[in-house]
Structure 1
Amino acid sequence: MAIARSFARVAGTLPVELSETLMVAQKTKSPLLLTAGAAALLVAGGGGAYWYLSQSKAAPEDLPVGAEVIPQDALIAISVTTEPGQWQKLREFGTVQSQAAFDKSLAEVRDRLLTANGFDYQKDIQPWVGEEVTVAFLGPKAPVTSPAIPPNQQSLVVVLPIRDPLKAKEILEQPRPQGGKLNNRSYKGFDIKETQGTAQAFSATAIDGKYLLVTNDPKATDRAIDAYKGEATLASTPGYSQALGQVKVPQAFGKVYVNLPAAAVVTAANTGRSLSPQNLEQLQQNQGVAATATLEPEGIQLKSVSWLKPDSIRKFDGKNTASVMPTRLPADTIVMASGGNLKKFWQDYSQGAAANPVTPINPDVIRSGIKSTVGMDWEQDFLPWMDAEFAIALAAAPEGTPASLPFSLLIMTKASDRRAAEATLKKLDDAMVERYKFKVEETTVAGKPVTAWTVPQGGAIINRGWLDGDITFLSLGAPIASAIVPRPTKPLADSEAFKKAIPAGLNPNNGHFYLNVDEAINAKKFPILQLPPGNRELVAAVRSLGITAAVSGDRTTRYDVFVGLQKAGNPKPLPNPTVPPASPSPIPVVPPPQ
């Protein structure tokens, strides 16, 4: 578990903002995506929006549709295409089992939201809706307290562009069976229809014949109208349009925006964590993350950018110096995280940990752990010479290795001062002898000196040595030194699995994260990486995960993500629509003016 957490920590900070985004999404996924899946079916009932949104993926061209209606303080905004061919392509991914599970969930939500209210997507929505739809999640308007948002009260705004106003009026004015009553009201010149006396409230209004605005909260409707009437909007977010320009792609599937400071504050409140004024000020240095996604033959490609506010005191180090580590790791590496500067990485991580409500490991745990186990100071003894490229990896054990040692943990770092590094490592050798009675001896591998730590009658436990004069390595577990000294005969960088998983567009870059899901989890070769039974079906649809990060300016960072997926082929038709037994909540619709 400790090893798994260390990988999460390293991989999640390439850059640090990516960790915040992914962890915020994980913390808020259940309540948010239940509502998101429901709203998405208003525009993609026959295509797979529920699955897509539940994975928090996206893709674009310019600003998302309806950006001038979405309040600027929205936590997350997701836009997806309504083009049927792209949805069909998405639904081809996965295993037969995951396709069946998805289809069942999709049909259940379709029936609950559309069929039960007399709607059919192909007949009633598709004829008039535009090329994409946007779903936004709003945070609380008032100052955030704990808990900020109860799970069942997440405010949601869905913006459906009206491509054909006459067709929309014709279809939406048709009488339909609905449970409950509709209430009419007006706000700033807009006529609004809302449900009354039902478990799930809905509010809807037409925005100048351009959009159909649907929310699950009357106050969210008012906030969207306020934004449209002149208050700050997503479209006016500083740096947003420029950020999307950096990740613009043809044939995009959708796009996503995460308001980093707002999402982090809400997450902290919901998890009961308090933030000091200093930590809040640090959070406010961030602006957001924007991403676009495309469907590739073997998976989903996301191009992402995070940026700081224009007046932020904080700035990014503009150096992209990671290039060597994938060539020094063996081809059967299962998971790896690399970066350009371990010392700088640690400084950024430790400084941001207090302000990040979802930090996986407190930096003090690392400091105190090293101090208590070997009596050394992490920041004084190790970091001064670790200001260059580094990697942490798990590699499969060589053939013939006992089953009790299925992998080796590898740590590599380029030393800027070899003399200081050797002094630190010698001190570490002495600590292992004095404290744990290890036997430390010099051996050779391929003619190169390697230091082995062994327990009497226990065999080799840890090997350490040098590669190319300035790269030091330490391996724990299976004996793997012969696979990397003096260099791998088959390096990770040349393996087909790695080349397919790691996006090649960002060069130079500041590091990678790579996970061979097929080998690590699906093949059940690594017990420490196994998941609970409830998650295995979803993970079985994934082949690999690759991330490449790069600093693109003093206030912007880029990272590309590729999720390699299984492909089961053409999915079966969805089950026939059925009306759920429970009384439906009506979805009010407001036909646009002619």
Structure 2
Amino acid sequence: MRIFIKAGITTAIGLLICTSAAKAEELKVANQSQASSVKLASKNSRDKSIAKSSQTLALNDAIIFLDKKLNLVANNPKNTLQDRLRQSNQQQTNPITSGSVKDISSLFPADAALVAFINIKPENWENLTRFHLFHMAKQTFLKFMPKEANFNYARDIQSWLGDEVGVVFMPKVGNNPVTMESTFVMVFPVTNDMRVQSFLDEVTKDKEKVKIREYQGVKIFEVKTNTSEIPVTKPLPAPKAAKPVTQPFPEALEKLKSRRENNLAIATFPGYVVLGLDSKPLEQLIDTKNGSRANISANPELQLLTQQHQAPGVLFSMYQNPVAYIALFKDLIKDIAKDLPPESSGILSSSFLNFENINLEQLKAYKSINSSLRSQPEGMRFQVQTYLAKLTPEEKLKSANKSSKNKREEAIIARMPAATYSAITGSNINLYWQALSRGLETIPEVKKGLTGFREFVKTTTSLDFDKDFIGWMDKEYGFFTFPTKGGLFKFFSPNANFGIGFIIKTSNRSAAENTLTKLEQLIKSVSKGEVIVNNTNMKGQNVTSWDVKAGDFSYMKGQNITSLGVKADNFSPFAYSWIEQDTLLVTTGFGAISDLVPKPYVQLSDTYNFTTATNSLPYPNKGYFYVNMGSSLSLIYSFIPQVYQQNEFVKVFKEAIGSIYSISATTSQTEETQQADMLMVLAPTRK
């Protein structure tokens, strides 16, 4: 179940990011479509373009509307003077609340599905631009701002807004399906209520667009933000030339349709401004503020989150109620799918509606999921903490953290070469497989597939997959990819300097040897003598390789056969060696294993890149995931034709992803929590 929850967290964050990006790209497409229509189209086609654009400018309208009102307040000397006088009087009679995350959480209902806090101190976010990746991101973001907006954060926002923003997804009301409008609310603590009042005074001047009503003594401003107007009455001059318009974004993105009205709902009370897309979720928040329903601030896990949010460098924190969150997520996916063209809607639905198979009763074993994003000297750190109500049978089955630093685990990493592309380490594959298969077998379709797979293995090898292949893998393991000039992948391409290695410790060597022996007998029988099992002494280490008669590999002609992992006239796709009494090393061929036996020339555990990527992660833990982005990208680029590498988009992409030095992650566990940490080590900004 932990896998599903983590996937849910990642998907939710990705969904919010992608939704924002899609809206920004949609905005750009719409603006370009307008310009193209004015220059190229007839009046009839121009009217169609305008109608279409008016459907896709909801975000644009909201930004421009708010920006316009904020500018009017900021640039009106009369308002500014009145603000100062009113604020001085207010500070004497009605001090502003601190607007801390603890204060904000007291406004959120106890049964909220998701609660998040965003630190908006400008210095914290500006500090991120010391990393080249975020420097590029900032420049890209500025390009997507509407040209009509004259937004100035320091002038328009910072002068009256607090340091934190709260986000909440309100609970469902009855059996009504959830939409973004019915659930989403943002809370902004303010340090100058009078500045907000001046802003609302400007808003209410648009009598046709603003409706004011009162709920529980709080005024709610319902605003229609349609501000995009394109004159179509004037005749246009004949175009000088008709050039084909190149659309920079996928056609499906252009076809995004909006059934939603361009609305905002705004409410204020001392110390806060509340913003939503509809007034209904604002009413729920007002009920919580007035004490009509319990708030979430007493929740122990949320209290831990608010404490952690105060740590240096924390930019974002999120609390999730697993059961309510999954139900919310299902409804939001269905709601978003309605806004997409049929071809895209079908893909989205089929991709995410498998969440219907999640057993909500099983999720009750998890009290909450807390996550956070923060910067640290090396780069960016993402952390997820799952609080357990009780240990499930699957979790009891899994091995716990190692209580002290384990030299055997260090030995696993020491067997990997310094230039390793990627690595995964851990322990007890057998127990994890048992837990995973038990969980998957609760899904009928997956259970049928597993049964078929096991039967296939039994039929073709006469071996039991669970017992003969997995059963003896009960200690530490390491799976890694690394650069090598020999081995299996040379069969496919002479440029494939790539190998795969697997190191496994076992308490039952005889079972492992029995499996290998039976496989060797089988492969020799099936190949009818085309595969030869060879034993070689390599620097005092016994190595067994499966060698296939090479035949006529044209790309090998004129090359050193031995360097390609080919002995005499044979090609070796598989090799293994017992490098210790209880430790088996398996690689993709004789040439690949020759780079690792008896030990790599430089070990991964001694490299600066690996130690920087893992030193700040929790220990003890359940193993590491590690990617060396530099060496991995070099391999990937070697397969991309040079003509594509000159593409401007590819160049920008390479610059961005090339600024990531490494990605690493680990998981750890106590009796009450499961924790996952991921670290992205980033390059400094390039001058």
| Common topology (TM > 0.5) | yes
State whether residues 62 and 245 of structure 1, in contact with CA within 8 Å, keep that contact through their aligned partners in structure 2.
Answer: no
1:215-236 CA distance string (max 9 Å, x none)? 1222222232344335354434
Match of 1:410 in 2: 501
- State the one-letter code of the partner of 1:467: I
The one of 271, 278, 286 equivalent to 1:217 is 278
| 2:314 equivalent to 1:252 | yes
- State the one-letter code of the partner of 1:93: F
Deviation of 1:160 (Å): 0.8
The one of 497, 503, 519 equivalent to 1:428 is 519
Q: Percent identity?
A: 23
Match of 2:139 in 1: 103
The one of 231, 234, 248 equivalent to 2:293 is 231
- d(CA) in 2 for partners of 1:72, 1:223: 11
Match of 1:165 in 2: 193
| 2:158 equivalent to 1:121 | no
The one of 361, 373, 387 equivalent to 1:281 is 361
Match of 2:424 in 1: 337
| 2:474 equivalent to 1:387 | yes
Deviation of 1:197 (Å): 7.5
Structure-to-structure mapping, 1:165-314, within 5 angstroms? 165-170=193-198, 172-174=200-202, 181-196=209-224, 198=226, 199-206=261-268, 208-228=269-289, 229-231=291-293, 233-237=295-299, 239-242=301-304, 249-267=311-329, 270=333, 271-273=352-354, 275=356, 279-309=359-389
Structure-to-structure mapping, 1:500-511, within 5 angstroms? 500-511=612-623
Structure 1 pair 29–445 and aligned structure 2 pair: CA distance change class (3 A): farther
| 2:513 equivalent to 1:452 | no
- d(CA) in 2 for partners of 1:292, 1:161: 21
Higher strand share: 1
The one of 509, 520, 523 equivalent to 2:632 is 520
SS at match of 2:630: helix
| 2:531 equivalent to 1:469 | no
Match of 1:582 in 2: none
Question: What is the alpha-carbon root mean square deviation over aligned residues?
Answer: 4.3
State whether residues 448 and 485 of structure 1, in contact with CA within 8 Å, keep that contact through their aligned partners in structure 2.
Answer: yes
Structure 1 pair 540–140 and aligned structure 2 pair: CA distance change class (3 A): farther
Structure 1 pair 355–181 and aligned structure 2 pair: CA distance change class (3 A): farther
Deviation of 1:392 (Å): 1.7
1:458-510 CA distance string (max 9 Å, x none)? 51101112232212222126833233333333221211111122243411111
Match of 2:673 in 1: 556
| 2:104 equivalent to 1:66 | yes
Deviation of 1:140 (Å): 4.8
- d(CA) in 1 for partners of 2:208, 2:456: 60
Tell which has more relative contact order, 1 or 2 (C-alpha 8 A, sep 6+). 1
1:139-178 CA distance string (max 9 Å, x none)? 7545597xx75xx768422111122334443455446986
State whether residues 335 and 515 of structure 1, in contact with CA within 8 Å, keep that contact through their aligned partners in structure 2.
Answer: yes
| 2:119 equivalent to 1:81 | yes
1:289-335 CA distance string (max 9 Å, x none)? 32333323341123432222368777555621373332222111111
- State the one-letter code of the partner of 1:209: P
Match of 2:685 in 1: 568
- d(CA) in 2 for partners of 1:233, 1:450: 65
Structure 1 pair 461–245 and aligned structure 2 pair: CA distance change class (3 A): farther
Deviates more, 1:530-539 or 1:190-199: 530-539
SS at match of 2:413: helix
Q: Report which of the two structures shows the higher radius of gyration computed on alpha carbons.
A: 2
**TM-score (structure 2 length as normaliser):** 0.66
SS at match of 1:239: helix
State whether residues 63 and 235 of structure 1, in contact with CA within 8 Å, keep that contact through their aligned partners in structure 2.
Answer: no
State whether residues 280 and 355 of structure 1, in contact with CA within 8 Å, keep that contact through their aligned partners in structure 2.
Answer: no
1:42-69 CA distance string (max 9 Å, x none)? 9xx9xxxxxxxxxxxxxxx985662223
State whether residues 373 and 380 of structure 2, in contact with CA within 8 Å, keep that contact through their aligned partners in structure 1.
Answer: yes
- d(CA) in 1 for partners of 2:514, 2:370: 45
**TM-score (structure 1 length as normaliser):** 0.75
- State the one-letter code of the partner of 1:292: S
State whether residues 124 and 171 of structure 1, in contact with CA within 8 Å, keep that contact through their aligned partners in structure 2.
Answer: no
Deviation of 1:406 (Å): 2.0
Structure 1 pair 196–17 and aligned structure 2 pair: CA distance change class (3 A): closer
SS at match of 1:385: coil
State whether residues 305 and 557 of structure 1, in contact with CA within 8 Å, keep that contact through their aligned partners in structure 2.
Answer: yes
Deviation of 1:547 (Å): 0.7
- State the one-letter code of the partner of 1:444: N
Structure 1 pair 433–70 and aligned structure 2 pair: CA distance change class (3 A): farther
1:484-542 CA distance string (max 9 Å, x none)? 333333221211111122243411111111112222136625759x9996966653442
Structure 1 pair 539–135 and aligned structure 2 pair: CA distance change class (3 A): farther
State whether residues 285 and 314 of structure 1, in contact with CA within 8 Å, keep that contact through their aligned partners in structure 2.
Answer: no
Match of 2:19 in 1: 31
Structure 1 pair 515–19 and aligned structure 2 pair: CA distance change class (3 A): farther
- d(CA) in 2 for partners of 1:364, 1:180: 65
State whether residues 331 and 495 of structure 1, in contact with CA within 8 Å, keep that contact through their aligned partners in structure 2.
Answer: yes
SS at match of 1:66: helix
The one of 528, 543, 547 equivalent to 2:665 is 547
Structure 1 pair 260–489 and aligned structure 2 pair: CA distance change class (3 A): farther
Match of 2:401 in 1: 320
Kindly tell me the number of residue pairs found equivalent between the two proteins. 526
Match of 2:37 in 1: none
State whether residues 31 and 154 of structure 1, in contact with CA within 8 Å, keep that contact through their aligned partners in structure 2.
Answer: no
Deviation of 1:454 (Å): 2.0
1:7-48 CA distance string (max 9 Å, x none)? xxxxx97x7754443245446653366689979999xx9xxx
Structure 1 pair 381–93 and aligned structure 2 pair: CA distance change class (3 A): same
1:277-296 CA distance string (max 9 Å, x none)? 8x222233223332333323
Structure 1 pair 474–83 and aligned structure 2 pair: CA distance change class (3 A): same
State whether residues 479 and 501 of structure 2, in contact with CA within 8 Å, keep that contact through their aligned partners in structure 1.
Answer: yes
Structure 2: segments with no counterpart, 5+ residues: 26-58, 68-98, 227-260, 334-351, 551-569
State whether residues 69 and 224 of structure 1, in contact with CA within 8 Å, keep that contact through their aligned partners in structure 2.
Answer: yes
- d(CA) in 2 for partners of 1:525, 1:62: 47
The one of 4, 9, 22 equivalent to 2:10 is 22
Deviation of 1:426 (Å): 1.9
State whether residues 374 and 381 of structure 2, in contact with CA within 8 Å, keep that contact through their aligned partners in structure 1.
Answer: yes
State whether residues 289 and 304 of structure 1, in contact with CA within 8 Å, keep that contact through their aligned partners in structure 2.
Answer: yes
State whether residues 513 and 548 of structure 1, in contact with CA within 8 Å, keep that contact through their aligned partners in structure 2.
Answer: yes
State whether residues 374 and 435 of structure 1, in contact with CA within 8 Å, keep that contact through their aligned partners in structure 2.
Answer: no
- d(CA) in 2 for partners of 1:82, 1:286: 30
1:197-251 CA distance string (max 9 Å, x none)? 7432211112x41321111222222232344335354434453323665787334
Structure 1 pair 284–432 and aligned structure 2 pair: CA distance change class (3 A): farther
- d(CA) in 1 for partners of 2:545, 2:369: 45
Deviation of 1:567 (Å): 2.8
| 2:184 equivalent to 1:156 | yes
Structure 1: segments with no counterpart, 5+ residues: 1-11, 46-60, 571-594
Structure 1 pair 489–65 and aligned structure 2 pair: CA distance change class (3 A): farther
- d(CA) in 2 for partners of 1:374, 1:441: 21
SS at match of 1:507: coil
SS at match of 1:479: helix
Structure-to-structure mapping, 1:42-61, within 5 angstroms? none
State whether residues 243 and 307 of structure 1, in contact with CA within 8 Å, keep that contact through their aligned partners in structure 2.
Answer: no
State whether residues 522 and 540 of structure 1, in contact with CA within 8 Å, keep that contact through their aligned partners in structure 2.
Answer: no
1:72-92 CA distance string (max 9 Å, x none)? 555544322222222111133
